[in-house]
Chain A
């Protein structure tokens, strides 16, 4: 077979694949009988409305000297861990806004951090391609630094995201720039399974985010620079359970819906989408036409406990609260008084759903809580 002939066949094959993919899409659309917003409206649902003071910033956590890149809440207590470009992890008490730990990292370029389910340790990862675990109870060394209690090394690219498996302090899933996700056993420090990578089923570009299903911790989704999100089963590392197309840019963030049957994504194309993991459908698209044509990417998303609200942080400093049912903007936290000055890089909801924490490139974290009916001048 000559090279030209091979190329020709390759072209033909690609063509076939594309047509099949199109057919798949058509079929999918055919089966999509109702749209969520329409259904909700027909049920007489009115969009959630928030006044400007219904969700207010009640704490500003100051202490980082660099851009905040990531944050995570403890599942139980009201503590937050945040990671910043100043090379530190800070553990905060969200109530008193005091710092309980400030951990100097061996590698300053940290991109993600996570609290363990027990709240005893924190994990972080970044450009050093390692995931470092710090036990918050271990004694500090002579310089006052908390020693690394475990280094999870094995990624061949930066660690972009990490999350503990719910209710297991010993397992952790990381996403990496080497196009893989890895499930780690922290006690041994070894990889339990690698998702993607050598197997041809995985992401074809850097994986930027993971989110583990809260109700079934065997399932997790990952979002990637290949503008897809993939659903994985931790027992089947060889292939992704499902691939979700739709976004037109890098999928920066994925987050499971509280019921575990759907997940939301946020992308460089400026939209958030909601996918159903059982049907593979895209249920909703959340996009707001931007007035002044600037490019703004979704950096991070979070759902309220009920799932009715979706919080999305954008690169231009906006932070929209979406009504997930009707796909309407309820509130823009970025337009409120004393909002962040810089890009919202991360956000997270406390476990009981009563407070939202946002981290920004202006080096601050802010905690927002629901203010109820109140008029404040």
Chain B
């Protein structure tokens, strides 16, 4: 069938897939159009297909292009020219893409044979053109000199010059990946290897030593060795490995490693390393005696592997010189040693990272140039130093601050903790401010760089992560916390290094570490404070401060300095009460309590300068998701939150915008009223006519002459305005025209308002269904005579917060709006303010309001809110007797629509772990409405049978809940049941009067409470866990 006449319609924007809509008018026409369009499409397609021939042109095109760039695989350059029938459209001639820049590294195929596997370079090339430190044999010089040549010969047979294409991404990358992976596991192995138990080989020495040697660049001899030893590891995973020599048997490895660490220990002594490491002296001599057994093979492998490390870095930095790479692997050693020692090694010791290469003193670790005076940047992990031209390449994108690319993911060297986040001049010169700041922030905040909690031992027990955070985030944290053993007096807050007098008074009552031991500060005075035997200095201070210390008393000292004797109730005095005592303490270098540790009054001020660990900052923002079906009052809540918690809820621009919106709303309200007026006029006219016709005396002329005056008639001028306004409203361009035309029409509106007809209409406004309930707020104020509308329509009108609150559609009409806030300080005045609340006030909240409109069946972007802490779902109680059209065009109860939306949200996979708070909004008008309209108007609530006392007159007293309250509870229970049926969890419900600030404030605080409960839940389980782990560790000791 064909409708040629209708054909042109096709080109006027009518489409085939229009679902029939009643608005379009004649059904038949649409039908015909649809059919015609489809028919046309058929013909069109037929034609198109005939023109373009078969679909295989595509295949030909591809074939022709195949082998162009990406797939070098089937490089069949023969062009598939199977164009049998001359196609008039010749596509696919040649490649017109953007020119291929050479900047991007191209993949250069690399021959397997040429991948560097293992090789030892002949001594000559690296000794003269690379400035590498020469390896010194340790002590057995003669053995070395005898054996070394032989080794070199052995390995030189497999030696090969490797030419890594400098631009090859792959080669570079592979190495990177392999290195990072390989080095990690190898690092672990290393950690255990070097940290053998004290009985056999020195603990922790081996682990710390090499690094220190390196950093100090002092001991060339064994430092050399250690760095070599390390440098093999990151590269160990590279490609296949070759045993450096047959002599490396597993049986030897033990000896060797002992040997190795023995030499290390020596170097430690020579470098004058001060840090106290529990080091077994007697064992040391043992190793030294073993030293002569050093295997030379081992050493030679070091040499060559070091070379490899260099070469590796060379190719990294695109230096055009083909690096001479030799490679050797000592993994076999590591593994054997692991086996050997892991059994006797119960403690967990962190692996340390060493720079991959060892260079001459003062030179850059990458380009090997420069001397000790050139400015260099240091890797926070392995202490490698890089000059300004290499640092960016060596450190890459610095995701964790200044670390070599290979060191990313490793904890920093503790001795460098003080430099965290302190930028060097060099970096500032190389990068712009923003970048530097970002790097420094990353360095300070990233998880790996934080102080490892197990390094800090308080009262004989290593800390857990949470304890460390607690310690660092208390109002008065220990200064310059370094790894080490400390004692902490929980009652008075005294804090010191183990075996020493107190160094500081920190916040008391922190639940960190174990119980304090009596010999914590190694005192011998037999005077005790809170169970700790105090030192002589302290005793002297006490005596000078006037504390009676005769008879070796046991004191109980509180954080405020008040002390009492153990077992007695009365406070005997305040230690730090006298002004002189503080001076005395300063002289004796004893701590005095800092101001902020005074409780109560001053706490609020101390909150401000409370030092929280910075990395907590990110976590502190809590996202509250506010959703609800349209008309449920989410925007009111959102605006309330802004007014409540923001100093400037709305900016000038926003107010200006809102003003325009409100003005055009007022015009639309007036328009609706005018429309109503016309209707009423017509009705009353009809009535009039009927009356007159009933009278029977209706001469036509008389009727016209009478002018058809009714109560609702207005003067022609206003009539013209009314007609015009209605026309504009019908055309839907009200918003575009009105705010601008406001000045002109404001006087007219005033006149209109004062006209009797309009007033009469306004009185019957309840009959106008399209008029929103808020219209009365904007139209009248106080008495009916002076309209607020007149006020609003003045050009200099400034909307008040209340106006904004009442206004509809003023906050970004589309999508999402969010506001950051924190609950104001006044929260402390609440009765239930406890310490949790104090902490809480620093938390930032983000209220995110989402529009219901966008939520489809499988809303894709809801996943973005999976980090929300709570979903606040808003339902308007008023909705139970209202109807709206849903997406399919069915008229449904709005409460049911709300319910459906609720079900969708609750069952959405994104929210399956998130708490829901249901806010039943508009309770104020619900209370009024339920008296008139029964709740059973909504199908869902048909079993609502409230038991009401008959004497309704005094139903407002407490004993008799009002109908509204009953209804609220009923609906709340309905939703709760629905929620638990869907999820099996608990729904929080609160009622709300969106227009009352206090009500919204209370609701949001309730949400905060829910979050707090939520936070405490894991805390409970956590404390249980820590109890268990304490027991476990105490047993093992």
Q: Which residues from A are CB-within-8-Å of B4?
A: none
Contact A109 B42 (CB under 8 A): no
Within 8 A of A (CB), among B235-281: 239-240
**Are B91 and A46 within 8 A (Cβ)?**
no
Q: Is the CB of B858 within 8 A of A250?
A: yes
Q: Give A371 to B856 CA distance when docked, in angstroms.
A: 43
Which of B59, B70, B393 touches A39 (beta carbons < 8 Å)? Answer: B59
What residues on B are CB-neighbors of A325 within 8 Å?
59, 62-63
Q: Kindly list chain A residues whose C-beta atoms are within 8 Å of the C-beta of B101.
A: 76-78, 351-352
Beyond A17-B38, A306-B70, is A354–B104 a contact (Cβ under 8 Å)? Answer: yes
**Are A280 and B45 in contact, CB atoms less than 8 angstroms apart?**
yes
Min CB–CB distance B55 → chain A (angstroms): 5
**Shortest Cβ distance from A146 into B: residue:** B434
How far is it, in angstroms, between the C-alpha of A37 and the C-alpha of B105 when the chains are bound?
33
Chain A proximity of B166: nearest CB distance (Å):
13
Within 8 A of A (CB), among B19-38: 19-20, 22, 27, 30-31, 34-35, 38
Report chain B residues within 8 Å CB of A215: 96
Contact of B56 among A14, A36, A250, A376 (CB under 8 A): A36
Q: Tell me the A107-144 residues at the B interface (CB within 8 Å).
A: 107, 109, 111, 127-129, 140, 144
A192 adjacent to chain B (CB < 8 Å): no
Judge if A186 is at the interface, Cβ distance under 8 Å.
no
Chain A, Cβ-Cβ closest to B239: A377
B531 within 8 A of A: no
Q: Check A259–B91 contact: CB distance below 8 A.
A: yes
Q: Is the CB of B173 within 8 A of A48?
A: no
Which of A32, A43, A92, A374 gathers most chain B CB within 10 Å?
A: A374
Any chain A CB within 8 A of the CB of B58?
A: yes
Given contacts A144-B433, A350-B104, A374-B112, whether A308 and B71 have CB atoms under 8 Å apart is: yes
A279 to B66, CA, bound (A): 23
Residues of chain B within 8 A (CB-CB) of A377 are 239-240
Instruction: State how many residues of chain B have any CB contact under 8 Å with chain A.
Output: 98
Name the residue of chain B whose CB is nearest to the CB of A61. Answer: B397
The answer to the question of B730 belonging to the interface, with a C-beta cut-off of 8 Å to chain A, is no
Interface: A58 (CB within 8 A): yes
- Of A243, A278, A283, A324, which one neighbours B17 at CB under 8 angstroms? A243
Picked from B27, B170, B861, the residue with its CB within 8 Å of the CB of A374 is: B170
Task: Return the CB mask of A277-317 against B: 1 if under 8 Å, else 0.
Answer: 01111010000000000000000000011111100000000
Per the bound structure, the CA–CA distance linking A309 and B66 in Å amounts to 10
- Which residues of chain B are within 8 angstroms of A21 by Cβ–Cβ distance? 38
Smallest CB separation, A293 vs chain B (Å): 17
Q: B239 to A376, Cβ gap below 8 A?
A: yes
Report the minimal beta-carbon distance from A216 to chain B, rounded to whole angstroms.
11
Q: Does A150 contact B (CB under 8 A)?
A: no
**Are B854 and A157 in contact, CB atoms less than 8 angstroms apart?**
yes
Contact present for B55 and A32 (CB under 8 Å): yes
Does B107 count as interface, using CB distance less than 8 angstroms?
yes
Q: Which residue of B lies closest to A7 (CB)?
A: B20
In the complex with contacts A13-B31, A48-B71, A225-B856, A352-B98 CB distance below 8 A: yes
Q: By the criterion CB–CB under 8 Å, are B45 and A27 in contact?
A: yes
Residue A149, interface by CB 8 Å: no
B61 at the A interface (CB under 8 A): yes
Report yes or no: A279 in contact with B71, Cβ–Cβ below 8 A.
no
CB <8 Å contact, A129 and B74: no
The contact of A128 among B19, B51, B816, by CB within 8 Å, is: B816
Residue of B nearest to A158 (CB): B815
| A127→B861 contact, CB < 8 A | yes
Contacts of B45 in A (CB 8 A): 24, 27-28, 31, 279-280
When the two chains form their complex, are residues A10 and B20 in contact, meaning their CB atoms are under 8 A apart?
Answer: yes
* Proximity bits, B436-454, A CB within 8 Å = 1, else 0: 0110000000000000000
Tell whether, in the assembled complex, residue A27 and residue B97 are in contact, meaning their CB atoms are under 8 Å apart: no
CA distance A40 to B76 in the complex (A): 14
The answer to whether A45 touches B63 (Cβ under 8 A) is yes
A-B contact number at CB 8 A: 291
Q: Which residues of B contact A355 (CB under 8 A)?
A: 104, 169
A178 with B814: CB separation less than 8 A? yes
B774 interface contact, C-beta 8 A: no
Q: Closest CB-CB distance, B440 to chain A, in whole Å? A: 12
Which of chain A's residues 249-286 have a Cβ closer than 8 Å to chain B? 250, 258-262, 268, 274, 276, 278-281, 283
Interface residues contributed by chain A, number (CB under 8 Å): 115
CB < 8 Å: which of A14, A16, A97, A158 contacts B19? A14
Which of chain A's residues have a CB closer than 8 A to the CB of B814? 129, 155-157, 178
B784 at the interface (CB under 8 A from A): no
Asked if B174 lies at the interface with its beta carbon under 8 angstroms from chain A, I say yes
* Pairwise interchain contact A40-B92, C-beta atoms closer than 8 A: no
Inter-chain contacts of B35 with A (CB < 8 A): 16-17, 20
The CA of A373 and the CA of B68, in the complex, are separated in Å by 17
- Chain B 39-72, CB-CB to A under 8 Å as 1, else 0, gives 1011001101101101110110111011111111
Query: How far, in angstroms, from A25 to B816 measured CA to CA in the complex?
Result: 41
User: Do B16 and A17 touch across chains, with their CB atoms under 8 A apart?
Assistant: yes
Q: Complex formed: what's the CA distance from A376 to B30 in Å?
A: 66
Write out, one digit per residue, whether chain A residues 7-19 have a CB within 8 A of any chain B CB (1) or not (0): 0011001101100
Complex CA distance for A243 and B393, rounded to whole angstroms: 50
Contact partner of B104 (CB less than 8 A), chosen from A20, A40, A352, A374, is A352
Give the Cβ gap from B690 to chain A, nearest Cβ, in Å.
Answer: 29
Complexed CA–CA distance, A376 and B168 (Å): 15
A151 interface residue (CB < 8 Å to B): no
Does the CB pair A76–B98 fall under 8 Å? yes
Q: If the complex has contacts A107-B816, A199-B13, are A305 and B68 also in contact, measured as CB distance less than 8 A?
A: yes
A contact residues around B69 at 8 Å (CB): 304-306, 352-354
Contact of B66 with A306 in the complex, beta carbons under 8 Å: yes
- Check A99 for interface membership: any CB of B closer than 8 A: yes
Flag if B20 contacts A62 (CB, 8 Å): no
Q: Are A99 and B435 in contact (CB under 8 A)?
A: yes
Residues of chain A contacted by B14 (CB below 8 angstroms)? 200
A205 and B48 contact, Cβ closer than 8 Å, known pairs A23-B42, A305-B70, A309-B71: no
Q: What separation, in Å, do the CA atoms of A178 and B814 have in the docked complex? A: 9
Say yes or no: A109-B812 contact (C-beta < 8 A), given A40-B59, A96-B393. no
Q: How far is the CA of A239 from the CA of B73 in the complex (A)?
A: 43
Tell me, in angstroms, the Cα distance from A306 to B240 when the chains sit together.
36
CA distance A335 to B176 in the complex (A): 20
Given contacts A14-B20, A200-B15, A373-B109, contact A158 B52 (CB under 8 A): no
Q: Given the known A-B contacts A306-B62, A374-B109, are A85 and B864 also in contact in the complex, defined by CB atoms under 8 Å?
A: yes
* Per-residue interface assignment for chain B, residues 85 to 107, with 1 indicating a CB less than 8 Å from any chain A CB and 0 otherwise: 00001011001111011011111
B18 at interface, CB cutoff 8 A:
yes
Interface contact A31-B46, CB-CB below 8 Å: yes
Minimal beta-carbon separation of A340 from chain B (angstroms):
14
How far is it, in angstroms, between the C-alpha of A343 and the C-alpha of B41 when the chains are bound?
40
Q: Is A229 an interface residue (CB 8 A)?
A: no
Contact A308 B30 (CB under 8 A): no
* Residues from 921 to 948 in B contacting A, C-beta threshold 8 Å: none
Within 8 A of B (CB), among A182-211: 199-201, 204-206, 208
Residues in B with CB closer than 8 Å to A24 are: 38, 41-42, 45
Whether A148 is near chain B, meaning CB under 8 Å from some CB there, is no
Looking at B70, B71, B435, B816, the one whose CB has the most chain A CB atoms below 10 A away is B70
- Alpha-carbon distance A57/B172, docked complex (angstroms): 11
Interface string of A37-68 (1 = CB under 8 A from B): 00110010110111000001111011101000
Is B74 a contact of A46 with CB atoms below 8 Å?
Answer: yes
Quote the shortest CB–CB distance from A132 to chain B (angstroms): 14
Task: Give bound CA distance, A214 to B20, whole Å.
Answer: 37
Interface status of B177 (Cβ within 8 A of chain A): yes
Given A16-B31, A225-B856, A374-B109, output 5 extra A-B contacts at Cβ < 8 Å.
A40-B59, A95-B105, A157-B853, A268-B858, A307-B65
Q: List 15 A-B contacts (CB under 8 A).
A: A16-B31, A28-B45, A57-B177, A62-B397, A65-B618, A95-B103, A102-B438, A262-B58, A274-B58, A279-B49, A306-B65, A306-B69, A351-B98, A371-B109, A376-B174
The 5 closest A-B pairs by CB, nearest first: A372-B109, A58-B173, A304-B70, A20-B38, A201-B15
